[in-house]
Chain A
Amino acid sequence: MTVTAETGEGPRTRNGARHDESGTGRRVWHPGWVDVCAYDALLPERGAVALVSGVQVALFRMYDGHVHAISNRDPFSGAYVLSRGIVGTRGERPIVASPMHKQAFDLLSGECGDDPAVRVDVFDVRVRAGRVEVYIPRGELAGSGEISEPVTEPGANVGTAPGADVGTEPA
């Protein structure tokens, strides 16, 4: 997994992702730490999902206060539902069980405990000033292939739905 943090100083969108207004009707999304929500918006021991640049990131606030972030896509069913799973522990490891067919995914490694050949992407996540931020890397991710190059997008598709200033899609 190659991670390249962009350092450009474009204007911030409402959700914190940086954009370049190039004047061409396109805007460029720069990967990096993205503000997604208030920490208090996450319920203890329950998941939520954030839409970040077309990527669905499942967030879990654990009993001890830690927040984990993995891809929301259940690789077994293909449905975007992992955020709705029950969180818990297997041994010392924090896990979420897919709500679809109960396979458990390690929230630290993304590995599926029931089928080691399967894993989901794990995102870095941090809490700053009461806000949850997710690190969206640039480049290919190993697991579900959700993210390829985070990119540009025809302006026509941007921001047509309330709060949807995240309007990118995979190239």
Chain B
Amino acid sequence: MSDHDAHLDIHVDTHLADHRDDHVADPSAGTAGAGRRRRLVVVGHGMVGQRLVEAIRERDREGRWAVTVLGEEPRPAYDRVALTSYLTGTTADELSLVPDEHDGEGDDDCVVRTGDPVVAIDRSARCVTTASGVVVEYDALVLATGSAPFVPPIPGADLDGCFVYRTIDDLDAIRDRAATARTGAVVGGGLLGLEAANALRSLGLDTHVVEFAPRLMPAQVDAGGGEMLRRRIEQLGLTVHADTATERIEASGSDPHDPSGPGLRMVFSDGAAIEVGMVVFSAGIRARDELARACDLDVGERGGVVVDESCRTSDPHIWAIGECARVDGTIYGLVAPGYDMAEVVADQLLGGAAVFSGADTSTKLKLLGVDVASFGDAHATTPGSLEVVYADPVAGVYKKLVVTDDASTMLGGLLVGDASSFAALRTMVGEPLPDTPEQVLMVGPAPSGLDDAAQVCSCQNVSAGTIRSAIGDDGCCDVASVKACTKAGTVCGSCVPLIKTLLAQSGVETSKALCEHFDLSRAELFDVIRVTGQRTFTEIISSHGQGRGCDICKPAVASILASLGSGHILDGEQAALQDTNDHFLANLQRNGTYSVVPRVPGGELTPEKLIVIGEVARDFGLYMKITGGQRIDMFGARVEQLPAIWRRLVDAGFESGHAYGKALRTVKSCVGSTWCRYGVQDSTSLAIMLELRYRGLRSPHKIKAGVSGCARECAEARSKDFGIIASEQGWNLYVGGNGGFNPRHAQLFASNLDTDELVRLIDRFLMFYIRTADRLQRTSAWLEGLDDEHGDGLAYLHRVIVDDDLGICADLDAAVATHVASYTDEWAAVLEDEEKLSRFVSFVNAPDVPDPSIQFVTERDQIRPAGGTESGSLPEGVLGGVADGVPDGVAGGPGPVPVSGPTLEVVRR
């Protein structure tokens, strides 16, 4: 904050006189000679305010404007559209819309002051005053104050336990309360209400939705669509009270489902009542126009700062944009029109003449896993318009097109349950129908007909032409690069399917074929192998592929065969399919040696076993390091040493840790309630049980897990593919996290589970992932793929592995049971099999001769590869004639001096 103050000194406490020399004299303040710098003050730092700042900064090359942003919330702008994800793992930092370099720092062109709302506007002096008393002058003032949740005037609406749903702080408060509640109610069954209901459900609450109108989402859907929506949402276990007015809220003794928590009673106008632990109001918004009212700007009868088509208020120095603005009689509660307004104002401030010409209020939502989309004249208000309706109550799909009376022109429509054709249909509003209405409704229009001017992404206002040019001219070849290049699909994501279609039409292959040998995707191949029972690569590739395979399809088939429980991974033809790591059951390192990791379930290790590991590393001269998964890695083993090393380890009771496999690695844990004074559950025992249950389970990629014994999360479970965090009531299951190149927090999937419920869900989660993910796709990317395909990936997962919508749960359970029953230690099996042991040789013609190219030097009293680290490759001279362990190949060169040849002293048993 002190930085802000320092920068603000430039702006504050000056009066109308030309004090602007301060800025021009500042050497860092833009291009010299750019004329006086004008001062733009933005009131409100939400998505729209931030968009304005970005637009100005992007286009104001000469530095004409010095921008000051004054925000009420304690943090800079964040993605409010994605707010609910904050409850399922996304952090405030991840939601932030302000790049780090501007976060809290500001610079000479832009000062952001958070947590200090403007409390007064002095139009005559052209300055604003903040709550802390700072006065900031402006040449241009933009109100981007957004809106506040509307709380109906119901007696008791201000009781403890009643919340609104708009800011991160609101969500923190809701989450705190939800920790002690089992049930919650949302007042409001519109778009925002269902969003809040989704949030309560994700917090593990039994959730009620109370809507005054006769149906859910009355602004977007008609009676038929509302009914379909209600059915879908009730199937998820929510209770919908439509056509219901809340008369009052009273404090009651307790939440009946959780007597320890405080409770509220909602009494409805028909006399009925429900007992809940908390109430969230999400029944619409009211424009934040109080500053405008106080300084006598024109405001609408029903709120909103009145602006003209250039977004200018009744004072020519003041603009208003976003949800606080009333343009042409309308307040837009969507982010896209707000962004448009921000662009309009930015353009005008830089000398342009852009105007706001109304907005596309099409909406597509993926709430509670149910797609809802409306576009154009969804309510058929156009005189003479016709509605063509398709309803499938079994599938929960409702579709409606609104067309002109001669069925020639598309006017609008509504989609519930399946909105896959939304993006394409929306672009056709006002256009001639390309086909009969039924055809368009059932099949959707062909996107090839999309005019270049057609708007594909309404949030970011990106046209089909822009995307085509990104693909054709800028070389974008996938959705991610189109997103990065055009910003399309980066806000709500509903146009992603259309982007995919445009990519496909532009000739960009989005083939899911595994490789040149298989046209099938990994998931398809998995099913084929599972169903046909084929268990050799020769059978599989000759009936479903071509050629003899490669380093892509062979390990993929090997992994599928292993996941299906096909014996030892080095049995028969399977051996030839394995990557070198799996082939030698160890991890290849940069100099051609391998590392060895015995399993240490849950990270629990006896002194005796620890001593054995130490002795093995010492006797074989291996480098030792503690891993991030709470076990110990021993490096520098040559192929022919591996059996002797494992003989010692297996004899001491160790087994393979599968560090070399795309398989379960570790289940990390804290000491939990056994030792820790904060622990609430026995996390170590659970971790050990889970690690033993899933050990050896082969998967599309590595799987890591963690169990924390309390909310302090010392085991970092939320950075794992599946993570479990103890609560007082049981276990909370998180899925889809990972560290690595693109870290992701796991998202909450289910709460307060007992151990049996938890294990059943993990069983199904893992097996469903194993069966359907792409090769080398971590669980996080797999879940993102489910998002793209099914709207809300987590909700889809819930339908599959909890509700059993696909009817596969029994099969998944059985597959895991088979795995658990058939597990054997891969290394113990190799040690008992002379044929497999015979592969662990250095040279086929000199089995015991150590590879002379392998050289070590010492560093911090342990070995490390010679030469490799510095140069990235081994010196070519080091390859022969060192059979007696006296290396001489590299002695002459600079760099570290080898102290050990390949034949370190080995103690054999």
A interface residues (Cβ-Cβ under 8 A, vs B): 15, 36-37, 41-46, 48-52, 54-56, 59, 62-63, 73, 76-81, 84-91, 95, 97, 99-100, 102, 104, 144-146, 153, 157, 159-164, 166-170
Contact between B555 and A86 (Cβ–Cβ < 8 Å)? Answer: yes
Q: Does B884 touch A at the CB level, under 8 Å? A: yes
21 contacts between A and B (CB under 8 A): A36-B844, A37-B844, A44-B576, A52-B845, A63-B548, A73-B853, A76-B873, A78-B872, A78-B874, A84-B588, A86-B551, A88-B548, A88-B551, A91-B547, A104-B551, A146-B879, A153-B881, A157-B884, A160-B884, A161-B884, A163-B847
Verify B848–A59 contact, CB threshold 8 A: no
| Cβ A45 vs Cβ B551 within 8 A | no
- Bound Cα distance from A90 to B872, whole angstroms: 28
Q: Are A167 and B881 in contact (CB under 8 A)?
A: yes
A50-B843, A78-B876, A164-B883 known; A95 vs B550 contact (CB < 8 Å) = yes
Residue among A62, A88, A91 making CB contact with B554, cutoff 8 Å: A88
Contacts of A52 in B (CB 8 A): 845
- Is the beta-carbon distance between B881 and A169 smaller than 8 angstroms? yes
Check B883–A89 contact: CB distance below 8 A: no
Question: Which residues B863-909 have CB closer than 8 A to chain A?
Answer: 868, 871-877, 879-884, 889, 903
Asked whether A97 lies within 8 Å of B551 as measured between CB atoms, the reply is: yes
- Judge whether B879 and A80 touch: CB under 8 Å: yes
B757 interface residue (CB < 8 Å to A): no
Question: Contact: A43 with B575, CB < 8 Å?
Answer: yes
The answer on a CB contact under 8 Å between B844 and A59 is yes
Tell me whether A162 and B879 are in contact (CB under 8 A).
no
Whether, in the assembled complex, B839 has its beta carbon less than 8 Å from a beta carbon of chain A, the answer is: yes
> B880 near A162 (CB under 8 angstroms)?
no
Rounded to whole angstroms, the CA-CA distance of A39 and B614 in the bound complex is 40
A163 nearest CB across to chain B (Å): 4
Contacts of B851 in A (CB 8 A): 56, 80
Once the chains are docked, how many angstroms separate the CA of A4 from the CA of B550? 36
Nearest-neighbour CB distance to chain B for A89, whole angstroms, equals 4
Structural contact, B583 and A84, CB atoms closer than 8 A: yes
Q: How far is the CA of A84 from the CA of B588 in the complex (A)?
A: 10
Q: For B516, list chain A residues within 8 Å (CB).
A: 90-91
Cβ–Cβ < 8 Å partners of B554 in chain A = 86, 88
Q: Is the CB of A79 within 8 A of B880?
A: no
B846 contact set on A, CB distance < 8 A: 15, 50-51, 161-164, 166
Contact assessment for A79 and B843 in the assembled complex, using a CB-CB cutoff below 8 Å? no
What's the nearest-Cβ distance from chain A to residue B699, in Å?
Answer: 19
Roughly how many angstroms separate A109 CA and B554 CA in the complex, as a whole number?
Answer: 23
Q: Are A79 and B592 in contact (CB under 8 A)?
A: yes
- Please give me the 6 A-B residue pairs with the lowest Cβ-Cβ distance, nearest first: A78-B873, A54-B880, A169-B881, A88-B550, A97-B551, A169-B880
Tell me if B591 is interfacial: C-beta within 8 Å of chain A: yes
| Residues A99 and B844 in contact in the complex (CB < 8 Å), given A78-B868, A89-B547, A104-B551 | no
Q: Which residues of A contact B845 (CB under 8 A)?
A: 15, 36-37, 50-52, 163, 166
A45 / chain B contacts, CB cutoff of 8 Å: 548, 576
The reply on B580 being an interface residue by CB < 8 A is yes
What residues on B are CB-neighbors of A160 within 8 Å? 883-884
A44-B576, A89-B517 given; name 18 further pairs at CB < 8 Å. Answer: A36-B844, A48-B844, A50-B846, A51-B845, A55-B880, A59-B844, A62-B548, A78-B872, A79-B874, A86-B550, A86-B576, A88-B551, A91-B516, A157-B881, A161-B849, A163-B846, A169-B880, A170-B880
Specify the chain B residue showing the minimal Cβ separation from A170.
B880
Once bound together, how far apart are the Cα atoms of A89 and B872, in whole Å? 29
Q: Dominant SS at the A interface? A: loop
Q: A102's closest neighbor in chain B, by CB?
A: B551
- What are the residues of chain B within 8 A of A145 when measuring CB–CB? 876
For the residues of B in contact with A, the DSSP-based class is: loop
- Chain B positions within 8 Å of A153 at CB level: 881
Contact flags B312-351 to A (C-beta < 8 A → 1, else 0): 0000000000000000000000000000000000000000
Complex: how many Å from CA A164 to CA B874? 23
Q: Which of B842, B868, B880 has the most CB of A within 10 A?
A: B880
B571, chain A: closest CB distance, angstroms: 12
Chain A residue at minimal CB-CB distance from B591: A79
Picked from A54, A86, A146, A166, the residue with its CB within 8 Å of the CB of B579 is: A86
Contact B880 A90 (CB under 8 A): no
Q: Taking the complex as formed, is B257 at the interface, i.e. its CB lies under 8 A from any CB of chain A?
A: no
Contact of B879 among A41, A56, A91 (CB under 8 A): A56
Quick one: closest A residue to B871, CB to CB?
A78
- Shortest beta-carbon distance, A128 to chain B, in Å? 15
User: Distance in Å from the Cβ of B479 to the closest Cβ of chain A?
Assistant: 25
When the two chains form the complex, which single residue of B550, B842, B874, B877 contacts A89, counting CB atoms closer than 8 Å? B550
Q: Which residue of B lies closest to A53 (CB)?
A: B880
Residues on the A chain within 8 Å of B847, using CB: 163
| Separation of A56 and B584 alpha carbons in the complex (Å) | 19
Q: In the complex the two chains form, is A79's CB within 8 Å of B550's CB?
A: no
Check if B884 sits within 8 Å of A80, measured CB to CB: no
Q: Which residues of A contact B583 (CB under 8 A)?
A: 46, 84
A46, B844: Cβ atoms closer than 8 Å? no
Q: Tell me how far the C-beta of A26 lies from the nearest C-beta in chain B, rounded to whole angstroms.
A: 13
Q: A59-B844, A162-B849 are in contact. Are A46 and B575 (CB under 8 A)?
A: yes
Give the residues in chain A near B575, CB-CB below 8 Å: 43, 46
**8 Å CB contact of A100 from B576, B590, B849:** B590
The minimal Cβ–Cβ distance linking A132 to chain B, given in whole angstroms, is 9
> Quick one: which of B517, B538, B550, B853 has the most chain A CB within 10 A?
B550
User: A86 CA to B581 CA in the complex, in Å?
Assistant: 11
Cross-chain contact B877 with A79 (CB below 8 angstroms): no
Question: A15, A84, A144, A163: which contacts B876 (Cβ < 8 A)?
Answer: A144
A168 to B551, CA, bound (A): 34
In the complex, are the beta carbons of B883 and A157 less than 8 A apart?
yes
A104 to B577, CA, bound (A): 16
Instruction: Knowing A77-B873, A89-B547 are in contact, say whether A169-B889 is a contact too (CB < 8 A).
Output: yes
CB distance from A74 to the nearest CB of B (A): 9
A58 to B883 CA separation, bound complex (whole angstroms): 19
Residues from chain B with a CB closer than 8 A to the CB of A84 are 580, 583-584, 588
Chain B residues positioned under 8 Å from A81 (CB to CB): 580, 588, 592
Given contacts A80-B592, A100-B588, contact A89 B849 (CB under 8 A): no
A99: chain B residues within 8 A (beta carbon):
579-580, 588
Query: Chain B contacts of A167 at CB under 8 A?
Result: 880-881, 883
Which residues of chain B have C-beta atoms less than 8 A from A80's C-beta? Answer: 592, 851, 853, 874, 879
**B881 and A54: CB pair below 8 A?**
yes
Q: How far is the CA of A71 from the CA of B538 in the complex (A)?
A: 28
- Complex: A153 Cα to B882 Cα, angstroms: 12
- Which A residue sits closest to B841, measured CB to CB? A48
- Complex interface: chain B residues within 8 A of A162 (CB): 846, 848-849
The answer to whether A50 touches B884 (Cβ under 8 A) is no
Tell me if A89 and B549 are in contact (CB < 8 A). yes
What are the residues of chain A within 8 A of B874 when measuring CB–CB?
A: 77-80
Q: How far is the CA of A52 from the CA of B844 in the complex (A)?
A: 10
Please, how many angstroms separate the alpha-carbon atoms of A39 and B555 in the complex? 25
* B335 CB, min distance to chain A CBs, angstroms: 43
Q: Per-position contact with A for B826-867: 1 when CB-CB < 8 Å, else 0?
A: 000000000000010011111111111100000000000000
Given contacts A86-B555, A153-B881, A157-B883, A49 and B849 within 8 Å (CB-CB): no
Complex contacts, A87 vs chain B, CB 8 Å: 576
Contacts of A62 in B (CB 8 A): 548
Nearest CB of chain B from residue A67's CB, rounded to whole Å: 12
Cα distance A80–B516 when bound, in Å? 28
In the complex, residue of chain B having the shortest beta-carbon distance to the beta carbon of A164: B883
On chain B, the residues within 8 Å of A59 by CB distance are: 844
A52 to B846, CA, bound (A): 9
With A48-B844, A59-B844, A90-B516 as known contacts, state yes or no: A170 contacts B551, CB within 8 Å: no
Chain A residues with CB under 8 Å of B573's CB are: 44
Residues of B within 8 A of A85 (CB): 551, 580
